[in-house]
Amino acid sequence: MKRLLPWLLPLVAGCSTLDLPKLSNKEVLAAAVVVYYTHDGFRWEVEDRRIGPNLYRITVRQGKLTRSGQGEAEPIFRRRAEEIVATQGCAGYTILEYTQGLAHDALGVAQRVSEGVIRCHRPAGTITGGETS
């Protein structure tokens, strides 16, 4: 959306230098909705953050335009967990919690959301944050 905003602003402002037809408020709103839903609309969004020593929260959100995908979130979650394990030099991981559900955006469109917490297993003898694992 941030990349498209500079191109969309002249439309909203009714800039005459681009020689565009006058658009009604409904047409501008419809265009804004299309841009909102097509931006990253088909791919899964994956976010993760460290929430404690060796603990990571992973959130997987379905693209806004994808209506299938039941069962796809868990493999994506596990793939991201494996990436975290590899980059952190861990020997493995344990899923401490995992939930799946639906979230609704401001316009009421449902989006699959999966979220979980993993614990990264450090190799024996590794010192992390003052602790020996």
Average pLDDT taken over every residue of the chain = 76
Residue 9 — pLDDT band, cuts 50, 70, 90? Answer: low
- Answer for the pair 31, 54: CB distance below 8 angstroms, yes or no: no
Residue 41 — pLDDT band, cuts 50, 70, 90? Answer: very low
- Answer for the pair 56, 88: CB distance below 8 angstroms, yes or no: no
pLDDT digits (tens, 9 = 90+) for 86-116: 999 999 999 999 999 888 877 777 788 999 9
Separation of alpha carbons 108 and 111, rounded Å: 9
Q: 110 versus 52: which is more confidently predicted?
A: 52
Residue 118 pLDDT > 50, yes or no? yes
Sign of CA dihedral 12, 15, 21, 24: positive
Q: 40 versus 111: which is more confidently predicted?
A: 111
Q: 70 versus 48: which is more confidently predicted?
A: 48
- From the CB of residue 78, how many other CB atoms can be counted at a distance below 10 Å? 17
- 77, exposed or middle or buried, with CB in 10 Å at 0-12, 13-18, 19+? buried
Burial 17-44 (b: 16+ CB within 10 A, else e): eeeeeeeeeeeeeeeeeebbeeeeeeeb
Mean per-residue pLDDT, 62-76: 74
Mean per-residue pLDDT, 62-67: 67
Residue 130 pLDDT > 50, yes or no? no
- Answer for the pair 99, 77: CB distance below 8 angstroms, yes or no: no
